[in-house]
Structure 1
Amino acid sequence: MKLIFLAMLLFLWVSPMSMTSTDIVIRINQNGFDYVSNIQRELLQKAMSNISFPFPTTTKKKESGGLISRIANNGDIFGSGHSMMDKVMNINNVKIHHVKLPKLNVKLVTGVGLHVSMDVDFKMTGKHAIFGETEIKVRATVLTDIKVSKTPKGHVTLAVTDCKPIIRDMDIKFGLGLVNTVIWALQGQIREMLGNRLCQSVSSVLEEVNEDFDVSTEKNPFGDKVSLKYTLQKTPVVTGLYMEMLLNAEYTVNNQVVKLHNDTQEFTMPPGAGNKDTMVNLAFSKDYFSLLFIIGQESGAFNLEIPSTQECLANQMSTSALGAHIPEISSRYPQPLPVDMKIVLSQTPVVTFQNNQLIVQFAPYVEMFVVLPYSPDRYQHLLTINVGASLVAALHVEEEKLKISVSLQGDLKLEFASISFGKCKSKPSLLSEYMRTVFEKAYLPYINGTYANISVIVPVQCFLF
């Protein structure tokens, strides 16, 4: 079963308690499990509907003695191996036609894990050898304790540690009427068959959920070059109020794990933090976002080529537009020519928190090329400029994902790295407004579009069944 968020509170902390081993703290409150128990019944109902019952078997005993002995031992006066008593006391071809779970509760229990209590209503049919078609209605209660732990690979695993099936009510109707003695005997048979299989159904559901954990914790946020795997650092902590999990986000670029190197202590949720009225509280360490931007840089996701035909920069991608800020460019190219641009982020972004804001220091370089339509060397280098930018990353939750969007904070810092149009006496700051336009209309929308297409948030809904 999946958890769909109704509400979620996001926490960001810069704390001395931060290390690569724990990047995310997930705290699922009791009302999160209440939500699950109220609406997520389909998987369990399906498992209960798929219960199958074997045909009753009889053990053929070695016959000895005469008629009296055979009657006493088998109830079979003909010695045929199929006693009249077997036919009276057994029912065959039992099939489930409808299952309903009127009540399903999941409670957090300290030292136990999850305690699941469910009422199950069955409508079944069977065939009695003597009395014919049989209708059976059963109401059962299943009490189950589930332990939440981790596998050696760091995945969540759920296992039944205790299960008690209780058959509360049973109604059996024969096509030829009721026979109390027979009904009493059949009730015992059905209790035995159904009771054992109720707990087996719960275990089979958990096996399916455990298989989903292995798949759901691996993602490809920036394409085939990059993979992201979430792993538990330790067994989840369960109290009577919440279940808390500490996760590590492991990024791999070209099959190489990317790590931050620091010696500080692990990241935890501070005492008293969180909102007990929400279903899920999330806490992200600074390292989580540092890794996210480092991976984007190392995978080339923040590199952008802007052609002279870029619509959002109409009339900006030409020597005349640049010459309006740097006169030497107009002198070198008196006739307007198109200009292509390439933005490359080669330096690692630096992530910090300032005044409860996520700040990213970006330092890309921008190469500009004059496009010569009739020249064998179609692209002629114009200049390369180093840009220092401070970005503010806004965070919000949408459709079970953590969305990131960046915007410029303050002015751009510009520095000429190389010039190919001759001696230039102009200061690079003259291009500040021009480069700001390029960033705001082309580069930042590209970065935001990159983040819009990836799932930044850990799939919390997969950790609840």
Structure 2
Amino acid sequence: MTRARGLGLLLVLLLPMVSASMPGTVVRLNQAALGYVSEIGKAPLQRALQVTVPYFLDRSGEVLQPTRIQILNVHVPHLHLRFIAGFGIRLLAAANFTFKVFRVPEPLELTLPVELLADARVAQGSIGTPVVSVSACSSLLGRVDQLDSHDSSSRALLVLVQKHIDAVLSNKLCLSISNLVQGLNVHLGTLIGLNPVGPESQIRYSMVGVTVTSDYISLDISALLFLLGKPIVLPTEASRFVLPRHVGTQGTMATVGLSQPLFDSALLLLQKAGSLNLDVTGQLDNPLNTSTLGRLIPEVARQFPQPMPVVLKVRLGATPVVTLRTNNATLRLQPFVEVLAAASNSAFQSLFSLDVVVNLRLQLSVSRVKLQGTTSVLGDVQLLVASSNVGFVDTDQVHALMGSVFEKPLLNHLNALLGMGIALPNVVNLYYANPEVFVYEGYVVISSGLSYQR
């Protein structure tokens, strides 16, 4: 299992996530990602190549003498990965093996250089995960040398040991790599796991396509959001999301494209779940009372001669709208606000209601594997009286009063909600590092490094 994680790391970092569908996401892994994998992948590859060598039968004497041979160390000084257009990834590695031959009377230590070549195909699995399979593998073994040059061991013995080691490693090394890649597919299966968005909502990604060029590998992923186990479906069908070639920061490891429909689906889910609704209550959040309102609306003063608390019930019946323009993301909310006063019998009495339009500036960021957001009010909040049980309500007078008790709680609630974030496509233990977020016309791009953490 440890070995499976070994080479698994090499390719997991190449296939962490990806794109396209309706709504769609695209993740491209570039040459910089291969360089990162090549560097940190040496140690797991070394562990993976620590195969078991069976006893060597020494026929040099009158009696067959079984001699134990052990790999003491495998050092990989060179590991290179590159894309194969239309196919997958090629692995080229140089490894130096150190063996110990437990001969009598003195053990013998030997070194052996090995060159490895493996081609791994990347395809779409039947359950929506990337599937990696080794289609070709070969190993080129060099000449065995003694570590102790003063040892007068028989050259004939070295030739026999070389033949034994060659026969063992030529079969075992490629078999080990193939087994490791098979174990990797289990790890890649975590791509399609459900990630929570809220207490009763989740997001699930699945792969719908893969493209490999000589410069990058691009995986298309569909994003499906669920509320109480039921999928969220947009009113209109979205077209396939295609990520332009030159966007974001050039030379980064990963380029992640998030389509407009993904944002539309997430906001529709939040609206249907009622997550955007709130009640503004209490003197700390809402100093408004019937006495304050009574100075603006005479009927309120008449009905409530004694000051009574006022509650604002904010409900979003209309789905929020996100607009993505180059270097600018905005969010439009149209809440319905009902203003209620506590009556003497502890019941609440509706005073009036407002149709409100709030335009917000949306700033996006990424933390580990989550896309997060913060908002600030853009321009004036628009108010329109929807109904009234207290006669005429002058919106100009109410505007300033309502803004002071409405905007701050709304922003606090919304920013806390968006701060929880929504999971981006990911596999276990792989995170985005030093990400930058760019807004384009109709989509968002994340340029990021990658960080593998156990």
Name the TM-score class by shorter chain: 0.7 to 0.9
User: 1:99, 1:323 → 2: CA distance?
Assistant: 83
Residues 171-206 of structure 1 show CA distances to partners (whole Å, capped at 9, x for unaligned) of 356998623211211122122223322223323332
Alpha-carbon distance in structure 1 between the residues aligned to 2:309 and 2:396 = 22
Cα displacement (A) at 1:107:
0.6
In structure 2, what is the Cα distance between the partners aligned to 1:179 and 1:187? 13
Matched, 1:193 2:168: yes
Distance 1:458 1:365 in 2: 34
Distance 1:330 1:205 in 2: 77
Matched, 1:361 2:332: yes
Deviation of 1:238 (Å): 0.9
Q: Is this contact kept in 1: 2:10–2:38, CA < 8 A?
A: no
Match of 2:398 in 1: 431
Question: Is structure 2 residue 429 aligned with structure 1 residue 443?
Answer: no
Match status 1:216 vs 2:169:
no
Deviation at 1:230, TM superposition (A): 1.2
Structure 2 equivalent of residue 80 of structure 1: none
- The AA in structure 2 aligned to 1:223 is G
- Aligned partner of 2:144 among 135, 152, 170: 170
Secondary structure class of the residue paired with 1:206: helix
Shift in Å, 1:104:
1.5
State whether residues 212 and 462 of structure 1, in contact with CA within 8 Å, keep that contact through their aligned partners in structure 2. no
**How many positions carry a matched residue from both structures?**
418
Secondary structure at the counterpart of residue 233 of structure 1: strand
In 2, distance between residues paired with 1:462 and 1:102?
Answer: 26
* Cα deviation code 1:294-352 (max 9, x no counterpart): 1111222212233305x4x3x62433444455454344333333334332223222333
Q: Map residues 52-451 of structure 1 onto 2, 5 A cutoff.
A: 52-55=52-55, 84-85=63-64, 87=65, 91-92=67-68, 94-128=69-103, 130-131=104-105, 133-172=107-146, 178-234=153-209, 236-263=210-237, 265-270=239-244, 272-273=246-247, 275-309=249-283, 311=284, 313=285, 316-323=287-294, 326-354=297-325, 356-371=327-342, 377-419=346-388, 422-451=389-418
Distance 1:325 1:205 in 2: 74
Q: Which amino acid aligns with 1:305?
A: D
Measured against aligned partners, the alpha-carbon deviations of 1:185-232 in whole angstroms (never above 9, x if no partner) come to 112212222332222332333233321222233243323421211112
Name the CA shift for 1:53/1:355 in 2 (closer, same or farther; >3 Å). Answer: closer
Is the strand fraction higher in 1 or 2? 2
Identity %: 25
User: Shift of residue 290 of structure 1?
Assistant: 0.5
Contact 2:57-2:67 at 8 Å conserved across structures = no
Distance 1:205 1:294 in 2: 42
Counterparts in 2 of 1:104 and 1:462: CA distance versus 1, 3 Å: farther
Secondary structure in 2 matching 1:222: strand
- Give the Cα separation in 1 of the matches to 2:400 and 2:20: 39
Residue number in structure 2 paired with 1:27:
28
Partner of 2:40: 39
Matched position secondary structure for 1:24: strand
* Matches of 2:157 and 2:391, distance apart in 1: 106
Of stretches 170-179 and 143-152 in structure 1, the one that deviates more from structure 2 is 170-179
Shift of 1:356: 4.7
CA contact (8 A) 1:227 1:253 kept: yes
TM-score where L is the length of structure 1: 0.78
Bigger-Rg structure (1/2): 1
Contact residue 20 and residue 208 of structure 2 kept, 8 A: no
Q: 1:46 to 1:324 in 2, by over 3 A?
A: farther
The residue matched to 1:221 in structure 2 has which SS? strand
Report the CA distance between 1:100 and its aligned residue.
2.9
SS in 2 for 1:143: strand
The alpha-carbon deviation at position 56 of structure 1 amounts to: 6.0
| Paired AA for residue 388 in structure 1 | V
Q: Is the 8 A contact 1:229 1:249 kept in 2?
A: yes
Q: Match of 2:30, as an amino acid? A: N
Q: Which runs of 5+ in 2 are unaligned?
A: 1-8, 14-18, 433-449
Q: Which runs of 5+ in 1 are unaligned?
A: 6-17, 59-73, 78-83
Q: What is the RMSD of the two structures over their aligned residues, measured on CA atoms?
A: 3.5
Which of residues 444, 452, 459 in structure 1 aligns to 2:419?
452
Deviates more, 1:239-248 or 1:353-362: 353-362
Contact 1:221–1:227 (Cα < 8 Å) also in 2: yes
Contact 1:387 1:415 in 2 (8 A): yes
| Structure 2 contact 371–421 (Cα < 8 Å) conserved | no
Q: Aligned AA for 1:302?
A: L
